Homo-oligomer: A and B are copies of this chain.
């Protein structure tokens, strides 16, 4: 399994507060077996990556994010530890990887970048080798040749790029990113159907252009739960007790920080709300947070009793389900208008 975290804030965060210091960070979860989801193998021993945007735009430095990746474990990476103490950013993607597909190689580490767009994936495209050639045939030469590694995730990113009206555009509206994401999922579903693949694909994708963030919690199944996905929002994220114990504080109604993660990143469960299976969430440039159902043949309405019957065995077998005390849906938030694909 993999794990990831997204941070978007009105103020920059020191990367160490997100990645290396919290005892409950995606990197340090590996240390504490109470937090271990995947009983098959240690997480994040197979490389990791972090990508971040500058706090202030600098013409010389450009608008693309910076990426740091490694094939040695994150928890013991001297460069990561030093960089995380010295870099601040208002928009960060972090990803730890277990090689479910693709070899151990820098080329296979998330996040992937194209211009100012950054992308990562938690999950797996079922029987990807059966649809790889079909997927490739639909790509432009430029996008086809941009792929460096050999993972389903990087090819899914290439597919996403091919769904954008112009991947070189200077800026993107959230709607453009959302639509490309929906089209990506739809295309992957079509390819799987054509190839007669019956195993569900786990498609928790995240993408950003440095301003908006779009993330999905999705599975191509009506019977199974998707890989877990949570979010938290508040005013400050800080250490309240030595030993790396962090929590989110909500000082007022303003939400200065929104975090999305494959599982809760603090021990304060109340701070974290689960994103519903087969939903997309959006963080707009102005920090609005939307949750939008992805209505297709795998969608089950929360009001449908079947929604409670999605089984957890599949995602659990892939090591992709976070522990939780309840299936309580996100409180206090009405679903945004539905989008049909």
Contacts and interface: CB of A to CB of B under 8 A. Distances in A.
Given A33-B39, A82-B66, A150-B150, A73 B54 contact: no
A40 B77 CA distance: 17
A14 interface: yes
A324 interface: no
Contacts of A68: 79, 82-83
A42 B141 CA distance: 32
Nearest to A33: B39
B104 A104 contact: no
Contacts of A85: 61-62, 66
Interface in A207-251: none
Contacts of A33: 33, 36, 39
Given A34-B39, A105-B107, A107-B105, A66 B78 contact: no
A58 B33 CA distance: 36
Contact of A76 (B45, B148, B150): B45
A312 interface: no
A33 B36 CA distance: 9
Contacts of A36: 33
A111 to B, nearest CB: 12
Contacts of A72: 71-72, 104
Nearest to A69: B79
Interface string A92-126: 00000001000111110000000000000000000
B129 A133 contact: no
A42 to B, nearest CB: 3
Given A32-B39, A69-B78, A136-B133, A106 B107 contact: no
A147 interface: yes
Nearest to A98: B76
A172 interface: no
Nearest to A78: B106
Nearest to A32: B39
A272 B114 CA distance: 39
A88 interface: yes
11 contacts: A14-B60, A14-B61, A42-B45, A58-B88, A66-B82, A71-B72, A76-B104, A103-B106, A105-B106, A133-B136, A149-B150
Closest CB pairs A-B (n = 8): A42-B42, A66-B86, A31-B41, A105-B105, A45-B73, A33-B39, A45-B45, A76-B104
